[in-house]
Amino acid sequence: MTSAAESVAGVVESAVAAAGGVFGVAERAIRAGRIGHTAASVYLRIKTPRWWDRLVGNDPAARDMSGVHQRNAEQILETATALKGLLIKICQVVGTRSDVFPQAYVRTLSRTQDRLPPRPFEQIRAVVEADLGAPIGSIFRDFAQIPVAAASLAQVHRARLPDGRDVAVKVRYPDIDDIVQTDLTTSRWICQIYERLDPQPMALLPLLDELQKYLALELDFEREVENAERIRRMFANEERVVIPAVHRELSSKRVITMEFVEGIKVTDRLALERAGVRPRRVVEGLLAIYNQMILAHGFFQADPHPGNIFIQPGPRFVIVDFGLAKELPKNFGLGIFELMFSMMTYNEAAMIRAFRELGFRTKTGDESTYLEIARRMIGASEDGAFRGEFTEEMTDELFDAIRENPIVEVPIDFVLVSRAFSLLSGIAHTLGHRANILDSMAPGGDGAAAAPR
Amino acid sequence: MRLEYTRDELLTSHAYEEPLIAGDVLCHGGFIGSGYVSPRTLHRLPAIGAWQDRLRREGLPLLNLPTEYVPPHYPSYEQAKYLLQEGITDPITRSLTIISIVEGFGARIRDLPLPDLHATFVEDVGGTAIAHLGGGLVEAHARDEAGHRREGGHKQMWEAARDLGLSKPELPGDILLRMMMGRRRPERRREFPELPAVTENLVAFLTGVMIIEIVAEDVFEWAKALLGDPEVCRQNRAAAAMVAHIQQDEKAHVEYLRTALSEMRARTFVGADGTTHVPGATVVDRLFEVGLRGIVSTRPREDRERLREEIHAAIEDRAEASRIASRFEELDAGWTFPKGEDEKLDLLLETAAAPR
Ligand SMILES: Nc1ncnc2c1ncn2[C@@H]1O[C@H](COP(=O)(O)OP(=O)(O)OP(=O)(O)O)[C@@H](O)[C@H]1O
Ligand SMILES: [Fe+2]
Ligand SMILES: [Fe+2]
């Protein structure tokens, strides 16, 4: 593990320790039991028919599993919705991977990207009043009891300040630290059992490790406010980028009060077209904005899932949720660029240099591992030639390759950047376009003027 | 003279006695005797010569960009040398790095969608550069710029020239930021809506690349003078030689582009409806002029302003900043595009001369 990752893991542990005791043994057991039950049902529903087929000599591949997948997806969604926390995070990841998981899961689980049943308002009020030190009615002129969105770690309410301005108030669930810890423990436990049961298990544990790193970052609201302000300053001169301004005096460790922003969900193609926004413009603009953050400025909002991006006519790009933002090392952007470039030209010496510069390490010093990784990524791109898009297929292949070559040490920054690019690629594909990073950063701008098409 | 070549032929290099190695990076091209020979030119250069000969035999003119239209590099050699003498290296490092990146992007030419070129013109295109665009010319160009497999291309050669001349300078952290800044350009307007979009894009793209390649001539002269100057650069001979190799490689690009575009001028484009006809000279000349105005008049003005600011910001950090700044400005010769907004450009043409 890199040192950054270690310190993050440390943060999670201490956060959990600090909150220890509040969350009872019984709650913990109930959560664990429910998750375990769901996991077992899903696993058996998939495996039993296959075992049966093998027993009677049918071809297991020929069986139509869509009904099974649908039932599984619904059960997972139900459990996740009831328990929230980490499970929602996992569902969100599945919900953006239309190319990895069967459609039934993607369609069903992507619902976790916006609407979940909210927590009772009293819980929310308690947090706001405790943290802001006054009754809710004296701070806000109105405060909607029904939230705009209930997400995995927090929920967002619309409210109005005494001076009439509309704000969004993001409130962390009071018991979230414990929930996250229980879910992590339970999921880890389930993964271990699963790996023993399945002769060819998917490598879920490393995924869980990654998730744990991000979660610690996302739980710290003061950091989130800093992040938002920094990116807001970055785009101060760009009218097309909208980052909600934060009311610092009404924010705390568990509460963020910010300007209320509106827009069309970025993947809602129909609504975009109805508003006269061309999906191609959305893809180009979004990519240009992320390139600016990642490659040019080296500081970025690392969670561009469709629930965090809204489009206003123009198009203008509204970005919310800075829970996960990351400062990159100096010239990391150049490193990413060099890697893409070497893959585009199949230049192996350059690939090795790029991986090394990005902070990859092989424990044995055997650098052919890098080539194996790059080859597999290139192989997973659309026509077997890398042209500048980090598709979801490619990042998946990348992580598979890394997992299968346990001698490699991967910089967390790289994980976050490639995840962000693959999320953007997912959005682009939903809108019927491609997210070509090289095109977008090429001289000539957003890729509109110079890019041949 | 042969007018038909296979893709493999157009991509074939000479048998070099020695490869070109830049720093510790293997690059393309190589040496025969004491001379540098450009990559993939064993058949490519003779082929371009043959197509140009054919144009000449048919009495057709060759596209040309007069040198007085080409903006000089900013900062000038004198200004850049002065900055280096004052120990201000970052702006120069940045410029050279951005040049290397932009060269690398030249490989994107291979993603240019090509229409069916036989159906694009009323006349036959057999035995022309046009017919060979997709058959090796564009691919060779792409490989020259960005490198291919084991061999580095111009991208790596520029990096080597920079590292030789400036003794492997530390790269400032804002190179990509500067490169991407102010780079947003409005979408190009369709000039010939009666043509298929892919046809107009092709011509616009090729004219754009040809103009950029010619404008680059001045960048080469600038870089050779600066990096070749023993007063400011360490391994000045090696650095300038590297730039000269790149310059030599680019000849093939300018010549195939100018040939293909001149062939297009002599033909007739078929419209999107299949019946409308548009004279090739009308299309090529118009798009050439639009491209030229954008690339050599508007763009240098903006880029110059941005660079000037950037350089002054770098000077600011120095003791004696104001003395350095005013000396730097004194050395500025300035430049304006010689033609007004509505003035007609000189007809960019010369009778096809013997191929160089
Ligand atoms: N400033 C705002 N104005 C309007 N709506 C907002 C604002 N901030 C957040 N929202 C809404 O609330 C939702 C959840 O907010 P946010 O993404 O910040 O929470 P989260 O807990 O970090 O969610 P997740 O991590 O699941 O994305 C957003 O998807 C958006 O719909
Ligand atoms: Fe070049
Ligand atoms: Fe070139």
Residues of chain A scoring pLDDT < 50: 1-22, 98-99, 445-453
B121, B280 contact by CB (below 8 A) = yes
* pLDDT at residue A22, rounded to an integer: 45
How far apart, in Å, do the first and last CA atoms of chain B sit?
A: 16
B264, B130 contact by CB (below 8 A) = yes
A295 with B107: Cβ contact below 8 A: no
pLDDT above 90 for B71: no
DSSP A242-283: E-PPB-GGG--SSEEEEE----EETT-HHHHHHTT--HHHHH
Handedness of CA B63, B67, B69, B73 (dihedral sign): positive
* pLDDT at residue A93, rounded to an integer: 66
* pLDDT at residue A271, rounded to an integer: 96
Query: Which structure tokens are listed for A266?
Result: 């970025």
Q: What type of residue is A370?
A: Y
Residues 141-180 of B with CB under 8 A from A: 143, 146-153, 155-156, 171, 173-177, 179-180
Element (H, E) at A230: helix A221-234
- Give the three-state DSSP class for A295: helix
pLDDT above 70 for B124: yes
Taking contacts as CB-CB distances below 8 angstroms, the residues of chain A near B201 are 452-453
Query: Does the beta carbon of B225 lie under 8 angstroms from any beta carbon of chain A?
Result: no
Q: Count how many Cα atoms sit within 13 Å of the Cα of residue B300 in the half-sphere of its side chain.
A: 21
B147 with A345: Cβ contact below 8 A: yes
* pLDDT at residue A119, rounded to an integer: 85
Query: Does the beta carbon of A14 lie under 8 angstroms from any beta carbon of chain B?
Result: no
A322, A229 contact by CB (below 8 A) = no
* pLDDT at residue B202, rounded to an integer: 96
Q: Is the CB of A112 under 6 A from ligand 1?
A: no
ipTM of the complex: 0.88
Query: Does the beta carbon of B295 lie under 8 angstroms from any beta carbon of chain A?
Result: no
Walk me through the domains of chain A, giving residue ranges and CATH numbers.
2-111+176-201 (no CATH), 120-172+220-261 (3.30.200.20), 262-453 (no CATH)
* pLDDT at residue B326, rounded to an integer: 94
How far is ligand 1, taken at its centre, from the CA of residue A321, in Å? 6
Taking contacts as CB-CB distances below 8 angstroms, the residues of chain A near B211 are none
**From CA A15, how far away is CA B17, in angstroms rounded?**
66
Taking contacts as CB-CB distances below 8 angstroms, the residues of chain A near B153 are 345
Nearest ligand, CA of residue A157? Answer: 1
Note the pLDDT tens digit of each residue in A226-252: 999 999 999 999 999 999 999 999 999
Query: Which structure tokens are listed for A244?
Result: 């909600």
Ligand 1 atom nearest residue A89's Cα? 26
B132, B139 contact by CB (below 8 A) = no
B234, B26 contact by CB (below 8 A) = no
Nearest ligand, CA of residue B28? Answer: 2
Taking contacts as CB-CB distances below 8 angstroms, the residues of chain B near A438 are 105, 108
Q: What type of residue is A248?
A: R
The mean pLDDT of chain B is 91
Note the pLDDT tens digit of each residue in B32-59: 998 999 999 999 999 999 999 999 999 8
Catalytic residue (choose from A303, A321, A413, A446): A303
Note the pLDDT tens digit of each residue in B224-268: 999 999 999 989 999 999 999 999 999 999 999 999 999 999 999
- Using CA atoms, how far residue B30 sits from A31, A123, B17, B38, B242, in Å, is 68, 74, 7, 7, 12
Q: Is the CB of A244 under 6 A from ligand 1?
A: yes
- For the question of residue A163 being annotated catalytic, the response is no
Pocket test for ligand 1, best of A232, A321, A423, A427 (most atoms within 8 A of CB): A321
Note the pLDDT tens digit of each residue in B143-172: 999 999 999 999 999 999 999 999 999 999
Across the interface, which of B112, B180, B183 has its CB nearest the CB of A452? B112
Q: Is the CB of A227 under 6 A from ligand 1?
A: no
Nearest ligand, CA of residue B253? Answer: 3
Handedness of CA B131, B135, B138, B140 (dihedral sign): negative
pLDDT above 50 for B273: yes
Q: Is the CB of A374 under 6 A from ligand 1?
A: no
Note the pLDDT tens digit of each residue in B275-294: 999 999 999 999 998 888 88
* pLDDT at residue A293, rounded to an integer: 96
**From CA B161, how far away is CA B243, in angstroms rounded?**
7
Sketch the domain layout of chain B as residue ranges. 7-339
